[in-house]
Amino acid sequence: QKEVEQNSGPLSVPEGAIASLNCTYSDRGSQSFFWYRQYSGKSPELIMSIYSNGDKEDGRFTAQLNKASQYVSLLIRDSQPSDSATYLCASEGKYGNKLVFGAGTILRVKS
Amino acid sequence: SAVISQKPSRDICQRGTSLTIQCQVDSQVTMMFWYRQQPGQSLTLIATANQGSEATYESGFVIDKFPISRPNLTFSTLTVSNMSPEDSSIYLCSVGVAGAGGEQFFGPGTRLTVL
C-alpha cells in the first residue's frame, strides 16, 4: 500500500479558475505535510507546509489538512498558465525527518 | 533558504562504470538526503547522509551500490557504482534544518544516462 496517494491527473483548469489538488496518507503518526511544485526538467520547489488541522493560506495558495480523514489538499486560486507543473504531496514519515512523496498530480492551466 | 549546488548537472556514462555526484550547501545544515527520480516517477529516498558516520539506507538500496560520504555539515557525495541502464535517473540531494518542521529543500539535480 502506498503511503501517500495522489491522482496523477492531468488536471486541466481554465486560467483564472481554482485548481484543487488532493492527497491522502496512510500513516496516522505523520505530523507534517508539504506541497512541492516541480516544473518539467527542474527539481521540486517547496511551496507550502502544514502541520495543524485546518487551512493555511499563502498568497494564491491554500493548504488544507484533515488528520481525522488523513487528507491534505492544495487550492490554487486565480490559476495561471505558469502554475502548470507537477505538484507533489509529501508527509514526514514515521521516524521523523524523512519525507514520503506521492506520485504527483500534473496540473495544466489553459489560457 | 540555503543555496544548494550539485555537480555534475548531467552526465552520460557507460555500463559498468561509476559516477560520483557532489552536493554543496552554502550554510551548515542538519540533515542531508539523497533521492532518485526515475523517468516519469516520483521521488524515492535512497539514504540519509550522516555527518561523520555511515549513511542510513532505505529498503532496496545498499552501500555497495550507492556509497555516500558526508565529511562535514555542508558537503556530501553520492556514488552510483557499477552502473547499468536501470540507473538512468535524476539524482537529487536535499537539505533540512533542525527546527524547520521537517521542511526539505532540493538541489538542482543530476541527470544521469547510462548506455
Nearest chain B residue to A106 by CA distance is B40
**Of A32, A42, A101, which has the smallest distance from its Cβ to B42's Cβ?**
A101
Q: A16-71: per-residue pLDDT in tens? A: 999 999 999 998 888 899 999 999 999 999 999 999 999 999 999 999 999 999 99
Task: Supply the pLDDT for residue B52.
Answer: 86
Within an 8 Å CB–CB cutoff, is residue B31 touching chain A?
Answer: yes
Amino acid A95: pLDDT? 64
Q: How far apart are CA B13 and CA A61, in angstroms?
A: 41
Whether residue B101 lies within 8 A of chain A, CB to CB, comes out as yes
Chain B hits for A31, CB-CB cut-off 8 Å, are 102
> What was the pLDDT predicted at A2?
62
CB A30 within 8 A of CB A50: no
- Cell triple for A15: 486560467
Amino acid type, A42:
K
* SS3 labels along chain A: CCCEEECCCCEEEECCCCEEEEEEECCCCCCCEEEEEECCCCCCEEEEEECCCEEEEECCEEEEEECCCCEEEEEECCCCHHHCEEEEEEEECCCCCCEEECCCEEEEEEC
Contacts of B99 in chain A (CB under 8 A): none
* pLDDT tens readout for residues B32-57: 999 999 988 889 999 999 998 899 99
> Residue A94 has what pLDDT?
64
Mind telling me how many Å the CA of A17 is from chain B's nearest CA? Answer: 26
SS3 content of chain B, % helix, strand, coil (to 5): 5, 50, 45
Q: Distance (Å) from the C-alpha of residue B100 to the closest C-alpha of chain A?
A: 10
Closest-CA distance, A93 to chain B, in angstroms, reads 10
Give the nearest partner residue to A43 out of B41, B45, B108, using CB atoms.
Answer: B108
pLDDT at B70 over 80: yes
CB A97 to CB B48 under 8 A?
yes
By CA distance, what is A101's nearest residue in B? Answer: B43
What is the predicted pLDDT for the residue at A96? 65
CA distance A67 to chain B (A): 17
